[in-house]
Protein backbone atom coordinates (compact mmCIF):
# COMPACT_ATOMS: atom_id res chain seq x y z
CA UNK A 1 0.00 0.00 0.00
CA UNK A 2 2.78 2.39 1.03
CA UNK A 3 4.75 1.63 -2.13
CA UNK A 4 1.60 2.17 -4.16
CA UNK A 5 1.09 5.65 -2.67
CA UNK A 6 4.77 6.56 -3.16
CA UNK A 7 4.56 5.42 -6.75
CA UNK A 8 1.56 7.68 -7.35
CA UNK A 9 3.26 10.66 -5.68
CA UNK A 10 6.35 10.19 -7.86
CA UNK A 11 4.09 10.38 -10.90
CA UNK A 12 2.83 13.75 -9.69
CA UNK A 13 6.26 15.42 -9.83
CA UNK A 14 6.47 15.76 -13.63
CA UNK A 15 2.81 16.79 -13.69
CA UNK A 16 3.58 19.52 -11.18
CA UNK A 17 6.35 20.95 -13.36
CA UNK A 18 4.11 20.69 -16.41
CA UNK A 19 1.48 22.70 -14.60
CA UNK A 20 3.95 25.43 -13.58
CA UNK A 21 5.06 25.74 -17.18
CA UNK A 22 1.53 25.92 -18.55
CA UNK A 23 0.27 28.36 -15.91
CA UNK A 24 3.32 30.56 -16.39
CA UNK A 25 3.13 30.47 -20.18
CA UNK A 26 -0.60 30.77 -20.85
CA UNK A 27 -1.24 34.05 -19.11
CA UNK A 28 1.78 35.57 -20.85
CA UNK A 29 0.57 34.40 -24.23
CA UNK A 30 -2.53 36.56 -23.88
CA UNK A 31 -2.14 39.96 -25.47
CA UNK A 32 -1.55 42.86 -23.10
CA UNK A 33 0.12 42.96 -19.71
CA UNK A 34 -0.81 44.13 -16.19
CA UNK A 35 0.49 47.65 -16.78
CA UNK A 36 -1.54 48.12 -19.96
CA UNK A 37 -4.59 46.71 -18.18
CA UNK A 38 -4.14 49.28 -15.41
CA UNK A 39 -3.62 52.19 -17.80
CA UNK A 40 -6.86 51.90 -19.81
CA UNK A 41 -6.91 54.45 -22.64
CA UNK A 42 -4.40 56.64 -20.89
CA UNK A 43 -1.33 57.40 -22.88
CA UNK A 44 1.54 55.43 -21.42
CA UNK A 45 4.98 56.42 -22.60
CA UNK A 46 7.28 53.47 -23.29
CA UNK A 47 9.58 54.75 -20.52
CA UNK A 48 6.83 54.74 -17.90
CA UNK A 49 5.64 51.36 -19.11
CA UNK A 50 9.13 49.93 -18.73
CA UNK A 51 9.50 51.50 -15.31
CA UNK A 52 6.25 49.95 -14.09
CA UNK A 53 7.11 46.55 -15.54
CA UNK A 54 10.45 46.70 -13.76
CA UNK A 55 8.68 47.51 -10.51
CA UNK A 56 6.64 44.36 -10.95
CA UNK A 57 9.71 42.30 -11.77
CA UNK A 58 8.41 41.66 -15.27
CA UNK A 59 11.36 43.20 -17.09
CA UNK A 60 13.60 40.16 -16.68
CA UNK A 61 13.90 37.58 -19.48
CA UNK A 62 11.07 35.02 -19.43
CA UNK A 63 13.29 32.05 -18.57
CA UNK A 64 14.62 33.89 -15.54
CA UNK A 65 11.13 34.85 -14.42
CA UNK A 66 10.12 31.22 -14.78
CA UNK A 67 13.06 29.93 -12.76
CA UNK A 68 12.39 32.52 -10.04
CA UNK A 69 8.79 31.48 -10.01
CA UNK A 70 9.52 27.76 -9.63
CA UNK A 71 12.25 28.44 -7.08
CA UNK A 72 9.83 30.51 -5.00
CA UNK A 73 7.09 27.89 -5.38
CA UNK A 74 9.42 25.23 -4.04
CA UNK A 75 9.93 27.49 -1.03
CA UNK A 76 6.21 27.87 -0.54
CA UNK A 77 6.08 31.41 -1.96
CA UNK A 78 3.27 31.75 -4.47
CA UNK A 79 3.99 35.40 -5.24
CA UNK A 80 2.19 38.68 -4.63
CA UNK A 81 -0.86 39.95 -6.47
CA UNK A 82 -0.22 42.89 -8.79
CA UNK A 83 -3.61 44.35 -8.02
CA UNK A 84 -3.95 43.99 -4.28
CA UNK A 85 -0.30 43.61 -3.37
CA UNK A 86 -1.23 40.77 -1.04
CA UNK A 87 0.39 37.30 -1.01
CA UNK A 88 -1.39 34.97 -3.45
CA UNK A 89 -1.61 32.25 -0.83
CA UNK A 90 -3.47 34.58 1.57
CA UNK A 91 -5.95 35.58 -1.11
CA UNK A 92 -6.42 31.99 -2.13
CA UNK A 93 -6.94 30.72 1.40
CA UNK A 94 -9.43 33.50 2.09
CA UNK A 95 -11.58 32.53 -0.88
CA UNK A 96 -11.00 28.82 -1.18
CA UNK A 97 -13.29 27.68 1.68
CA UNK A 98 -16.25 29.23 -0.13
CA UNK A 99 -15.43 27.23 -3.25
CA UNK A 100 -14.96 24.00 -1.29
CA UNK A 101 -18.17 24.53 0.60
CA UNK A 102 -20.11 24.98 -2.60
CA UNK A 103 -18.21 22.17 -4.35
CA UNK A 104 -18.86 19.70 -1.54
CA UNK A 105 -22.56 20.45 -1.30
CA UNK A 106 -22.90 20.29 -5.08
CA UNK A 107 -21.07 16.97 -5.13
CA UNK A 108 -23.21 15.66 -2.29
CA UNK A 109 -26.30 16.63 -4.19
CA UNK A 110 -24.95 14.94 -7.31
CA UNK A 111 -24.05 11.71 -5.50
CA UNK A 112 -27.07 11.50 -3.23
CA UNK A 113 -29.43 11.89 -6.16
CA UNK A 114 -27.29 10.67 -9.05
CA UNK A 115 -26.28 7.25 -7.69
CA UNK A 116 -29.76 6.06 -6.64
CA UNK A 117 -31.44 7.22 -9.83
CA UNK A 118 -28.63 5.62 -11.83
CA UNK A 119 -29.23 2.32 -10.06
CA UNK A 120 -32.95 2.70 -10.46
CA UNK A 121 -32.59 3.32 -14.19
CA UNK A 122 -30.33 0.27 -14.55
CA UNK A 123 -32.73 -1.96 -12.68
CA UNK A 124 -35.65 -0.65 -14.70
CA UNK A 125 -33.68 -0.82 -17.91
CA UNK A 126 -35.61 -0.07 -21.07
CA UNK A 127 -38.72 1.09 -19.23
CA UNK A 128 -40.32 4.50 -19.28
CA UNK A 129 -38.47 5.37 -16.04
CA UNK A 130 -35.11 4.52 -17.51
CA UNK A 131 -35.70 6.54 -20.65
CA UNK A 132 -37.12 9.43 -18.65
CA UNK A 133 -34.15 9.57 -16.30
CA UNK A 134 -31.62 9.26 -19.10
CA UNK A 135 -33.41 11.88 -21.16
CA UNK A 136 -33.42 14.30 -18.26
CA UNK A 137 -29.79 13.66 -17.46
CA UNK A 138 -28.87 14.39 -21.05
CA UNK A 139 -30.67 17.71 -20.73
CA UNK A 140 -28.89 18.38 -17.42
CA UNK A 141 -25.56 17.51 -18.93
CA UNK A 142 -26.04 19.81 -21.91
CA UNK A 143 -27.35 22.78 -19.95
CA UNK A 144 -25.22 25.93 -20.20
CA UNK A 145 -24.48 26.81 -16.58
CA UNK A 146 -24.78 30.55 -17.09
CA UNK A 147 -28.22 30.30 -18.63
CA UNK A 148 -29.39 27.75 -16.08
CA UNK A 149 -28.23 29.89 -13.16
CA UNK A 150 -29.88 33.05 -14.43
CA UNK A 151 -33.07 31.14 -15.21
CA UNK A 152 -33.25 29.77 -11.67
CA UNK A 153 -32.53 33.20 -10.18
CA UNK A 154 -35.22 34.86 -12.27
CA UNK A 155 -37.79 32.15 -11.46
CA UNK A 156 -37.09 31.26 -7.84
CA UNK A 157 -35.73 34.53 -6.56
CA UNK A 158 -37.12 37.14 -8.91
CA UNK A 159 -40.65 35.93 -9.61
CA UNK A 160 -41.48 33.61 -6.72
CA UNK A 161 -39.23 35.24 -4.13
CA UNK A 162 -38.34 31.89 -2.56
CA UNK A 163 -34.57 32.11 -2.52
CA UNK A 164 -32.05 34.92 -2.12
CA UNK A 165 -30.61 36.18 -5.39
CA UNK A 166 -26.93 36.04 -4.72
CA UNK A 167 -24.23 36.12 -2.10
CA UNK A 168 -23.35 33.72 0.66
CA UNK A 169 -25.36 35.07 3.58
CA UNK A 170 -27.73 37.93 4.30
CA UNK A 171 -25.88 41.17 5.00
CA UNK A 172 -27.72 41.37 8.33
CA UNK A 173 -25.25 38.87 9.71
CA UNK A 174 -21.62 39.78 10.19
CA UNK A 175 -20.24 36.40 11.17
CA UNK A 176 -16.60 36.34 12.28
CA UNK A 177 -14.39 34.16 10.08
CA UNK A 178 -13.02 31.17 11.99
CA UNK A 179 -12.79 28.31 9.53
CA UNK A 180 -13.89 30.16 6.39
CA UNK A 181 -16.64 27.56 5.95
CA UNK A 182 -19.71 29.64 6.52
CA UNK A 183 -21.96 26.75 7.49
CA UNK A 184 -19.55 26.00 10.34
CA UNK A 185 -18.78 29.61 11.22
CA UNK A 186 -22.45 30.52 11.50
CA UNK A 187 -23.00 27.64 13.93
CA UNK A 188 -19.95 28.68 15.94
CA UNK A 189 -21.07 32.30 16.09
CA UNK A 190 -24.35 31.23 17.69
CA UNK A 191 -26.06 34.14 15.94
CA UNK A 192 -29.71 33.29 15.54
CA UNK A 193 -30.81 32.77 11.97
CA UNK A 194 -27.30 33.04 10.52
CA UNK A 195 -27.00 29.33 9.76
CA UNK A 196 -30.44 29.25 8.18
CA UNK A 197 -29.54 32.25 6.06
CA UNK A 198 -26.30 30.61 4.91
CA UNK A 199 -28.17 27.41 4.02
CA UNK A 200 -30.82 29.39 2.24
CA UNK A 201 -28.17 31.11 0.12
CA UNK A 202 -26.64 27.76 -0.83
CA UNK A 203 -29.73 26.26 -2.44
CA UNK A 204 -29.58 27.71 -5.94
CA UNK A 205 -25.79 27.70 -6.42
CA UNK A 206 -25.67 24.10 -5.24
CA UNK A 207 -28.32 23.07 -7.74
CA UNK A 208 -26.63 24.95 -10.57
CA UNK A 209 -23.15 23.63 -9.85
CA UNK A 210 -24.41 20.11 -9.07
CA UNK A 211 -26.51 19.68 -12.20
CA UNK A 212 -23.80 18.55 -14.63
CA UNK A 213 -22.04 16.17 -12.19
CA UNK A 214 -25.44 14.80 -11.20
CA UNK A 215 -26.28 14.02 -14.80
CA UNK A 216 -22.90 12.44 -15.42
CA UNK A 217 -22.99 10.38 -12.23
CA UNK A 218 -26.49 9.13 -12.94
CA UNK A 219 -25.49 8.03 -16.45
CA UNK A 220 -22.23 6.44 -15.33
CA UNK A 221 -23.86 4.64 -12.42
CA UNK A 222 -26.46 3.27 -14.77
CA UNK A 223 -23.97 1.91 -17.28
CA UNK A 224 -21.65 0.53 -14.58
CA UNK A 225 -24.59 -1.20 -12.94
CA UNK A 226 -25.79 -2.63 -16.24
CA UNK A 227 -22.39 -4.12 -16.86
CA UNK A 228 -22.18 -5.63 -13.39
CA UNK A 229 -25.76 -6.89 -13.44
CA UNK A 230 -24.96 -9.13 -16.39
CA UNK A 231 -22.03 -10.79 -14.53
CA UNK A 232 -22.22 -14.40 -13.47
CA UNK A 233 -21.92 -13.74 -9.76
CA UNK A 234 -24.98 -11.53 -9.84
CA UNK A 235 -26.90 -14.30 -11.54
CA UNK A 236 -25.64 -16.69 -8.90
CA UNK A 237 -26.70 -14.33 -6.15
CA UNK A 238 -30.11 -14.06 -7.68
CA UNK A 239 -30.30 -17.85 -8.09
CA UNK A 240 -29.43 -18.26 -4.40
CA UNK A 241 -32.67 -16.42 -3.74
CA UNK A 242 -31.12 -13.29 -2.21
CA UNK A 243 -33.44 -10.31 -1.89
CA UNK A 244 -33.16 -7.73 -4.69
CA UNK A 245 -31.88 -5.23 -2.12
CA UNK A 246 -28.93 -7.50 -1.27
CA UNK A 247 -28.23 -8.31 -4.91
CA UNK A 248 -28.21 -4.72 -6.12
CA UNK A 249 -27.13 -2.97 -2.97
CA UNK A 250 -24.34 -5.29 -1.87
CA UNK A 251 -23.06 -7.46 -4.70
CA UNK A 252 -23.62 -5.27 -7.71
CA UNK A 253 -23.14 -1.79 -6.29
CA UNK A 254 -19.77 -2.49 -4.67
CA UNK A 255 -18.30 -3.42 -8.02
CA UNK A 256 -20.10 -0.69 -9.86
CA UNK A 257 -18.71 1.85 -7.39
CA UNK A 258 -15.23 1.65 -8.96
CA UNK A 259 -16.48 3.40 -12.05
CA UNK A 260 -18.60 5.76 -10.02
CA UNK A 261 -15.70 6.83 -7.78
CA UNK A 262 -13.54 7.43 -10.84
CA UNK A 263 -16.21 9.65 -12.24
CA UNK A 264 -16.57 11.51 -8.95
CA UNK A 265 -12.80 12.04 -8.88
CA UNK A 266 -12.82 13.36 -12.42
CA UNK A 267 -15.73 15.64 -11.62
CA UNK A 268 -13.54 17.67 -9.28
CA UNK A 269 -12.04 19.27 -12.36
CA UNK A 270 -15.50 19.86 -13.84
CA UNK A 271 -16.59 21.38 -10.55
CA UNK A 272 -13.71 23.86 -10.65
CA UNK A 273 -14.66 24.84 -14.18
CA UNK A 274 -18.32 25.11 -13.21
CA UNK A 275 -17.38 27.09 -10.12
CA UNK A 276 -16.01 29.89 -12.29
CA UNK A 277 -19.42 30.48 -13.85
CA UNK A 278 -21.53 29.64 -10.82
CA UNK A 279 -19.52 31.93 -8.59
CA UNK A 280 -19.77 34.76 -11.08
CA UNK A 281 -23.54 34.46 -11.39
CA UNK A 282 -24.22 34.13 -7.68
CA UNK A 283 -21.53 36.59 -6.54
CA UNK A 284 -20.10 33.70 -4.59
CA UNK A 285 -16.78 34.81 -3.10
CA UNK A 286 -14.70 31.85 -4.24
CA UNK A 287 -11.57 31.25 -6.28
CA UNK A 288 -13.34 30.69 -9.60
CA UNK A 289 -14.44 34.29 -9.76
CA UNK A 290 -11.07 35.44 -8.49
CA UNK A 291 -9.13 33.61 -11.21
CA UNK A 292 -11.34 35.06 -13.94
CA UNK A 293 -10.88 38.57 -12.62
CA UNK A 294 -7.13 38.01 -12.38
CA UNK A 295 -7.01 36.86 -15.99
CA UNK A 296 -8.91 39.95 -17.16
CA UNK A 297 -6.61 42.28 -15.29
CA UNK A 298 -3.57 40.29 -16.42
CA UNK A 299 -2.50 39.79 -12.82
CA UNK A 300 0.22 37.33 -13.88
CA UNK A 301 1.21 36.38 -10.37
CA UNK A 302 -2.33 35.70 -9.20
CA UNK A 303 -3.11 33.58 -12.26
CA UNK A 304 0.05 31.49 -12.18
CA UNK A 305 -0.07 31.05 -8.40
CA UNK A 306 -3.79 30.34 -8.34
CA UNK A 307 -3.64 27.80 -11.16
CA UNK A 308 -0.82 25.90 -9.51
CA UNK A 309 -2.74 25.79 -6.23
CA UNK A 310 -5.87 24.53 -7.98
CA UNK A 311 -3.85 21.94 -9.89
CA UNK A 312 -2.25 20.77 -6.66
CA UNK A 313 -5.67 20.29 -5.12
CA UNK A 314 -6.96 18.34 -8.11
CA UNK A 315 -3.83 16.19 -8.00
CA UNK A 316 -4.39 15.55 -4.32
CA UNK A 317 -8.00 14.55 -4.94
CA UNK A 318 -6.93 12.18 -7.69
CA UNK A 319 -4.36 10.66 -5.39
CA UNK A 320 -7.06 10.04 -2.80
CA UNK A 321 -9.26 8.50 -5.48
CA UNK A 322 -6.41 6.21 -6.51
CA UNK A 323 -5.95 5.11 -2.93
CA UNK A 324 -9.68 4.55 -2.57
CA UNK A 325 -9.60 2.26 -5.61
CA UNK A 326 -7.06 0.14 -3.87
CA UNK A 327 -9.21 -0.09 -0.81
CA UNK A 328 -12.33 -1.00 -2.72
CA UNK A 329 -10.68 -3.32 -5.19
CA UNK A 330 -7.44 -4.84 -3.87
CA UNK A 331 -6.66 -6.24 -7.33
CA UNK A 332 -5.64 -2.79 -8.54
CA UNK A 333 -3.21 -2.44 -5.65
CA UNK A 334 -1.52 -5.71 -6.55
CA UNK A 335 -1.18 -5.07 -10.25
CA UNK A 336 0.34 -1.62 -9.87
CA UNK A 337 2.78 -2.50 -7.14
Of 115 and 302, nearer to another protein (C-beta) is 302
| CB neighbour class for 225 (10 Å; exposed up to 12, middle 13-18, buried from 19) | buried
What is the rounded distance in angstroms from the CA atom of residue 144 to the CA atom of residue 149?
9
> Minimum distance from CB of 202 to another protein (Å)?
12
Q: Check residue 251 and give left, alpha or beta (phi > 0: left; psi -120 to 50: alpha).
A: alpha
Helices (H), the chain: 2-29, 34-39, 46-55, 62-74, 88-123, 128-142, 145-152, 182-189, 194-229, 232-239, 244-246, 253-281, 287-296, 300-328, 330-336
Instruction: Give residues in contact with another protein (CB under 8 A).
Output: 31-33, 36, 38-45, 48, 52, 55, 80, 83-85, 91, 94-95, 150, 153-154, 157-158, 161-168, 170-172, 174, 177, 193, 196-197, 200, 203, 280-286, 289-290, 293
Min. distance of Cβ 94 from another protein in angstroms? 6
The residue (of 70 and 100) whose beta carbon lies closer to another protein is 100
Name the residue nearer to another protein (CB basis): 18 or 193. 193
Residues 6+ apart with CB under 8 A from 313: 268
Q: Which residues contact 39 (CB under 8 A, 6 or more apart)?
A: none
With 0-12 / 13-18 / 19 or more C-beta atoms within 10 angstroms meaning exposed / middle / buried, residue 192 is exposed
- CB distance 106 to 210 below 8 Å: yes
Shortest Cβ 152–another protein spacing (Å): 11
Residues 316 and 272 sit within 8 Å (Cβ to Cβ):
no
Pick the closer one to another protein by CB: 5 or 50. Answer: 50
Q: Minimum Å distance from CB 247 to another protein? A: 29
In whole angstroms, what is the distance from residue 278 CA to residue 337 CA? 40
**Gap between the Cα atoms of 202 and 167, Å rounded:** 9
- Nearer to another protein by C-beta: 144 or 249? 144
- Closer to another protein by Cβ: residue 8 or 49: 49
Shortest distance, position 179 Cβ to another protein, whole Å: 14
Q: Report yes or no: 4 and 333 within 8 Å, Cβ to Cβ.
A: yes
Least distance CB 162 / another protein (angstroms): 5
Residue 128 vs residues 118, 122, 123, 132, 187: alpha-carbon distances, Å: 14, 12, 12, 6, 44
Q: Minimal distance in Å, beta carbon 131 to another protein? A: 25
DSSP 57: T
Rank residues 175 and 228 by Cβ distance to another protein and give the closer one. Answer: 175
Which one, 212 or 281, has the nearer CB to another protein? 281
Q: Which is nearer to another protein, 162 or 316 (CB)?
A: 162
Q: How far is the CB of 97 from another protein (least distance, A)?
A: 11
| β-sheet bridge partners, residue 80 | 87
Amino acid sequence: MFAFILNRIALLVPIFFGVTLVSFGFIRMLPGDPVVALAGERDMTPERHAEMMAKLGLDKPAWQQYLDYVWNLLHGDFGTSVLTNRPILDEFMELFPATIELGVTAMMLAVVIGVPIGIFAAVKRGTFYDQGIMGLSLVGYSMPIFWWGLLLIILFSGIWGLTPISGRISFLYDVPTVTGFLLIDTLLSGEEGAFASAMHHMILPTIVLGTIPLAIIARQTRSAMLEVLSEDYVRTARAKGLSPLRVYGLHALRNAMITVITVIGLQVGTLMAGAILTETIFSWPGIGKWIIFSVFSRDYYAVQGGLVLIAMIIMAVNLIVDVLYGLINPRILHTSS
